[in-house]
Amino acid sequence: MDREHRDANRNMWDERVKIHVESDLYDVPGFLAGRNTLRDFEHGEIGPVEGRSLLHLQCHFGLDSLSWSRAGAIVTGIDFSEPAILAARDLAAQAGIDARFECCDVHDAAATLDRRFEIVYTGLGAICWLPDLDAWARQVVRLLEPGGRFYMPEFHPFTDVFHDRHLEVVESYFDDGEAFRDETPGTYADRDASTRHDLNFTWTHPVSTVISTLVRAGLVLESFHEHDFTLFQRFDSLQRGSEGDIHRFPGDHPRLPLMYSILMRSPERPSRGSGPGSATPG
């Protein structure tokens, strides 16, 4: 990512941390009262985490990280936004949860942390902010212990081809690495919020590219699932079900992929040149 893209995105995220912490969408009071922000399918797919070291990449202000900690994981979260990391540390203190948060770019994570983890996790809406998945995947490999697992739930990029509110195709699924420039004020957590740093850049990564990149970096695919639900009102025709924030099309509507999840593992022995200090940094 070049400096223009990184600086614009960091300024945008820095400004929105306070808005998100105070928003109804993130519901921090509910979390402090015991709410778990992770979805049932995530727990089911990743398996038991109790007593296992878990690194959360691009953790924002840490709600999912701290939810993994409540499930028993020994958690470290990283994000390139200093206000986000400060908010995560404050939230951990308020909740009485022992978790570590470090401010660093995901591309520098292996060198900054200088350790490996049993689980590396990246949450929803994360990789669209990264133009170079090869560099990202190399970091994931360097951060995993031999035999460790990488888990990623993500919004399906297929939905990016449609209009923001309805199922009219307006964009290409394949963007050939082109950055999408946006200057929409406010934020998804509060559309009416007053903001100054609105310029940001995102990239669409087809699912085939994501999986191929991780395999090429040295990981082994264990499972891949596509899901016919998402976690917000992505399209006008979606309906919220009884399972909290799960949204689906009505029963008589054709089912479409709205999210996906990938579980991969690192080989028991690191591939040649994949250890800290020997692989090409991302």
The percent of residues above 70 in pLDDT, for the chain, comes to 95
In a domain, 276, yes or no: no
- Give the pLDDT of residue 274: 45
In a domain, 234, yes or no: yes
- Give the pLDDT of residue 257: 96
- Give the pLDDT of residue 239: 92
Mean pLDDT in residue range 7-23: 97
- Give the pLDDT of residue 268: 82
**pLDDT greater than 70 at residue 102:** yes
Asked if 95 contacts 32 with a C-beta cutoff of 8 angstroms, the reply is yes
Asked if 127 contacts 133 with a C-beta cutoff of 8 angstroms, the reply is yes
Neighbours of 140 (CB within 10 A): 27
Q: 168-188: per-residue pLDDT in tens?
A: 999 999 978 899 999 999 999
- Give the pLDDT of residue 278: 41
User: Whole domain around residue 78: which residue ranges?
Assistant: 3-265
If you average pLDDT over every residue of the chain, what do you get?
93
| Higher pLDDT among residues 136 and 269, named by residue | 136
Mean pLDDT in residue range 93-118: 97
- Range in 49-58, 143-152, 183-192 with the lowest mean pLDDT: 183-192
**pLDDT greater than 90 at residue 197:** yes
- Quote the crossing angle between the two packed helices 3-21 and 82-95, to the nearest 10°: 30
In a domain, 274, yes or no: no
Backbone angles phi, psi at 240, to 5 degrees: -80, 130
Q: 236-279: per-residue pLDDT in tens?
A: 999 998 777 899 999 999 999 999 999 999 998 655 544 444 44
- Give the pLDDT of residue 177: 82
Q: What's 77-88 look like in SS3?
A: EEECCHHHHHHH
In a domain, 252, yes or no: yes
- Give the pLDDT of residue 243: 73
Give me the number of domains the chain comprises: 1
CATH of the domain at 76: 3.40.50.150
- Give the pLDDT of residue 275: 46
Q: What is the reported pTM? A: 0.92
- Give the pLDDT of residue 175: 78
| Tokens 């888990």, located at residue | 151
In a domain, 22, yes or no: yes
In a domain, 280, yes or no: no
In a domain, 59, yes or no: yes
